[in-house]
């Protein structure tokens, strides 16, 4: 079987076999899909908030397009309402998104572990994980999560108010005021990537936390199966963007409880690296070729998984609630 082309798993792994290559590629593709869907949603929220704020601008300009500084206080108050609404929306969205990433990492890697071992090797897993249990794990070694919203709100609001105040004080027209707003929000007109400022910081935190949650889900299932595993291996995204930290750790194995944290907690914000299991010995490994014995959906139904955050039903980059197609 041709090996997957994903940068993270094309080389020989310490726990090397065809099953883990195929299953890891499958799981990672869907986690990236979840990430893409959340980032698209986040961008849409920022753009919608920008449009709402722009709609407020005519209230501080006269019929000839001249700014009316006396109306600045009312405008800034209305802008604060819009920013608060945006941040509240983000906070409500991303806790469930991080929970979903954890579930996908947990159940996806449980399937991968089951498919890479001989049929008689038992894999321990929990078909149902309460949200409270997921949150307790995600809050360990905390890097971001929705607490970033509180900090982002204060800085974001200050920058927006300063931008609008400068426009009015300097007598700028509405067009220049809109350009200032775009710059402060980090939105580039007509572009869907390469954002800056507030938008870029938000995207980076969300991307990092989704990858961190999925890796913590993977480690959770690995630690539940210590009887067949020696630990986990760091697998870097081996391309031109991989950093020195991750490149140096690539291929190294760690025992459970080791000082080394998994990516991205153990590396840097924006890390794309992952973890894979290391079997105690090769006798536990199934020598199958051509990929897993069962596809994920069949395996999940057989093991009685209640909620896998749509891992079975999503395909590739069309992930999260946006996708309604089969996994195979």
Contact 229, 281 (CB under 8 A): no
CA separation for the pair 303, 27 (Å, rounded): 17
**Which of 96-110, 114-128, 170-184 has the weakest average pLDDT?**
170-184
Contact 277, 232 (CB under 8 A): yes
In a domain, 305, yes or no: yes
In a domain, 1, yes or no: no
Length of the chain: 328
pLDDT greater than 80 at residue 171: yes
Chain centre distance of CA 52: 27
Token pair 């929306």: residue = 89
Q: What is the distance in angstroms between the CA of the first residue and the CA of the last residue of the chain?
A: 17
* 255-307 pLDDT tens trace: 998 888 888 888 888 888 888 898 898 888 877 766 778 889 999 999 999 89
* 200-245 pLDDT tens trace: 888 888 888 899 999 999 999 999 999 999 999 888 776 566 777 7
Contact 4, 21 (CB under 8 A): yes
CA separation for the pair 109, 95 (Å, rounded): 21
Closest by alpha carbon to 215, among 27, 40, 39? 27
Which carries the bigger pLDDT value, residue 70 or residue 141? 70
In a domain, 266, yes or no: yes
Cβ neighbours, 10 Å, residue 127: 13
CA separation for the pair 308, 73 (Å, rounded): 48
CA separation for the pair 98, 90 (Å, rounded): 12
In a domain, 242, yes or no: yes
pLDDT greater than 70 at residue 175: yes
Dihedral over Cα of 261, 266, 271, 277: its sign: negative
Entry pTM = 0.84
CA separation for the pair 222, 291 (Å, rounded): 20
Average pLDDT of the residues in 187-200? 69
pLDDT greater than 60 at residue 194: yes
CA separation for the pair 42, 195 (Å, rounded): 12
Average pLDDT of the residues in 312-323? 52
The average confidence (pLDDT) of the chain is 80
Residue 88: the pLDDT is 85
pLDDT greater than 60 at residue 1: no
In a domain, 11, yes or no: no
DSSP state of 274: E
Residue 189: the pLDDT is 63
In a domain, 95, yes or no: yes
CA separation for the pair 138, 132 (Å, rounded): 10
CA separation for the pair 272, 264 (Å, rounded): 7
For 32, the domain range is: 18-322
In a domain, 3, yes or no: no
Confidence of residue 147 (pLDDT cuts 50, 70, 90): low
In a domain, 25, yes or no: yes
Contact 99, 136 (CB under 8 A): no
What is the count of structural domains for the chain?
1
Q: Are strands 229-235 and 274-279 parallel, antiparallel or unpaired?
A: antiparallel
Contact 306, 127 (CB under 8 A): yes
């Amino acid at each position: 079987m041709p090996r997957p082309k994903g940068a993270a798993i094309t080389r020989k792994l310490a726990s090397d076999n065809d099953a883990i290559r195929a299953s890891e590629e499958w799981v990672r593709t869907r986690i990236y899909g979840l990430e893409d869907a959340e980032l698209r949603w986040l961008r849409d929220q920022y753009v919608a908030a920008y449009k709402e704020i722009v709609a407020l601008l005519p209230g501080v300009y006269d019929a000839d397009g001249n700014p009316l500084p006396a109306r600045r206080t009312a405008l800034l108050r209305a802008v604060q309402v819009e920013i608060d609404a945006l941040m509240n929306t983000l906070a409500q969205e991303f806790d469930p998104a991080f929970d979903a990433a954890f579930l996908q990492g947990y159940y996806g890697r449980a399937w991968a572990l089951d498919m890479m071992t001989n049929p008689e090797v038992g894999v321990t897993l929990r078909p149902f994980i309460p949200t409270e249990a997921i949150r307790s794990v995600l809050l360990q070694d905390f890097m971001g999560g929705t607490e970033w919203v509180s900090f982002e709100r204060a800085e974001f609001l200050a920058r927006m108010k300063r931008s609008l105040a400068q426009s009015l004080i300097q007598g700028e027209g509405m067009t220049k005021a809109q350009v200032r707003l775009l710059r402060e929000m980090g939105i580039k007109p007509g572009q869907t990537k390469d954002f800056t400022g507030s938008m870029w910081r938000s995207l980076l935190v969300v991307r990092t936390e989704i990858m961190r949650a999925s890796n913590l889900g993977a480690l959770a299932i690995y630690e539940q199966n210590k009887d067949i595993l020696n630990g986990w291996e760091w697998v870097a995204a081996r391309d031109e963007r991989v950093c020195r930290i991750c490149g140096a750790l690539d291929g190294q194995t760690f025992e459970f409880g080791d000082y080394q944290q998994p990516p991205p907690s153990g590396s840097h914000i924006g890390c794309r690296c992952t973890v894979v299991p290391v079997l105690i010995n090769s006798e536990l490994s199934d020598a199958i070729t051509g990929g897993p014995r069962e596809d994920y959906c069949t395996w999940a139904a057989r093991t009685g998984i209640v909620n896998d955050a749509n891992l079975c039903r999503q395909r590739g980059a069309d992930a999260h609630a946006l996708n309604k197609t089969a996994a195979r």
